[in-house]
Structure 1
């Protein structure tokens, strides 16, 4: 059986469903119109969505790593998280907060944390749904839960995560953050609200308000997808504000790729060439700033 043809309009519909106001029923109706039949839509939908079965690039039991589920103090409540670090570390390491998409702390983000730990960092993937009980198995439920989060409390929990890693006995006190989609927006908010943050990497994340940019002290590395019109609409204002405030930043736009191009569990949107290049740039940037 040949692979169904996936168009940009289908990918855009999925983005509308996962990030804006389109519900599951509306998405499937729209996808059916685009695909021609309900059977074709049913075949295409899983290719647009993330597939947790493809999440483990680095095995959970990789002997090169020490991994554990932890809890630590948030702003007003306990935070859950997944901590990964090299098993053979000979001294303190730079720390990296790995911030999830709007699906919460799932298998893919845990795997990204392991990948980051293999690069020589203490990597912590927080569960920002902790105040609501933590990330559920059902991704649609998780997406709905993000609407219930208190924005100020969520940012404060991110700031508390920076403080936790600053004082962690396995780190050198220098803390960076990398986030994807919702997490990319959270990295931008951390850059604004956490003066102790030493490096910030945002993948296709919503930009902060221009009047907040002056509060940023960390150097920024900003990755954007060329076809991501929704997020890219804010690039120029962000660039102008960063220039006006004299901030240190680098912007990369990867032409011809979609939002979530780094997520290798999403077959339709993942782009290996862009993802590999962005990852190497990210690792180099974090090593430069967290040593």
Structure 2
């Protein structure tokens, strides 16, 4: 893959020099996959002649750990299928009782302070939350560097690593149940959707402004999906979200000890007027407080209802 050429395509799209259709056509050839091209489009933010959103410095709250806050939060390592080491950030309540678990999937910036904060927020809601480090220790606040990291990310392998994070959680004595929730933001939202069509161990999925699945892909989803999108997100047309919503299955067959068992699925989508891309990210100018508050509450309740 010619990384410089792909970066030039991204910049041309963001400046309005080429259309969304032309970008996807050329990027698909350059990166070798339509899915990867669509994820890259989502991760790179808005286009159609707008200036890329500014980067606002993050001032996250200090990480307080241990019994004082009722949380245990730390960087961890766990084992991949081949015995190699994977990295992540785990947060959970101190009380070592049965808890539902969630995998939290990063934006294109990497496992940064915002994603760590969201992971702790889920733990404060009573969940065990694990954010896999898909960039292996690298994160950035610079858009150009984030583009490079996304282009170097093997999306199929990223979904597989998310599956390994779910397996790790299922092995922990403080996790209850045989299914895990997945939630992702931007790039992570697209990966959450891909994960929900890949693994039966996904019990519920939440996509915050993630690239929608194509209708033919949406039919493979094996879990209830909550989609949370901004009406002003220029990188994700509402029509694409609605097309995915209409194609999601309402009944699937899951493998159980009794064999193939039909399971009914209910999905929910919210498109927030006045909100754009990354409206939950309170470290950036895209933050929309009203949409963020409502969407967060819906996500938490979605996991409580489905895990």
TM-score normalised per structure 2: 0.74
Q: What is the rounded CA distance, in whole Å, between the counterparts of 1:278 and 1:200 in structure 2?
A: 14
Structure 1 position 19 matched with structure 2 position 44: yes
Q: Take 2:141 and 2:210, find their aligned partners in 1: how far apart are those partners? A: 23
2:219 aligns to what SS in structure 1? helix
Native 8 Å contact 2:103 2:129 kept in 1: yes
Query: Alpha-carbon deviations, 1:230-285, whole Å to 9, x = none?
Result: 2134112202211587742100011111100000001x211111101100111111
The 5 A counterparts of 1:222-237 are 222-232=227-237, 233-237=239-243
Match of 1:212 in 2: 217
The equivalent position to 1:257 in structure 2, one of 275, 282, 286, is 275
Pairs aligned (count): 251
What TM-score, normalized to structure 1?
Answer: 0.78
CA change 1:287–1:149 in 2 (3 A) is same
Q: How does 1:1-291 map to 2 (within 5 A)?
A: 19=44, 48-53=54-59, 55-56=60-61, 59-62=62-65, 63=68, 64-76=70-82, 77-87=84-94, 89-130=95-136, 134-137=137-140, 139=142, 140-173=144-177, 174-232=179-237, 233-242=239-248, 247-266=265-284, 268-290=285-307
Question: SS of the counterpart of 1:231?
Answer: coil
Higher-helix-fraction structure: 1
Structure 2, unmatched stretches of 5+, are: 1-13, 17-39, 252-263
How much has 1:20 moved relative to structure 2?
Answer: 6.1
CA distance in 1, matches of 2:268, 2:74: 33
Q: Please state how far the C-alpha of 1:183 moved relative to its aligned partner.
A: 0.5
Q: What's the CA shift string for 1:193-251, capped at 9, x where partnerless?
A: 11111010000001223222232221111001010132134112202211587742100
**Residues 123 and 175 of structure 1, relative CA distance in 2, 3 Å threshold:** same
Contact 2:103 2:183 in 1 (8 A): yes
Unaligned runs of 5+ in 1: 1-11, 32-44
Mean Cα deviation higher: 212-221 or 199-208? 212-221
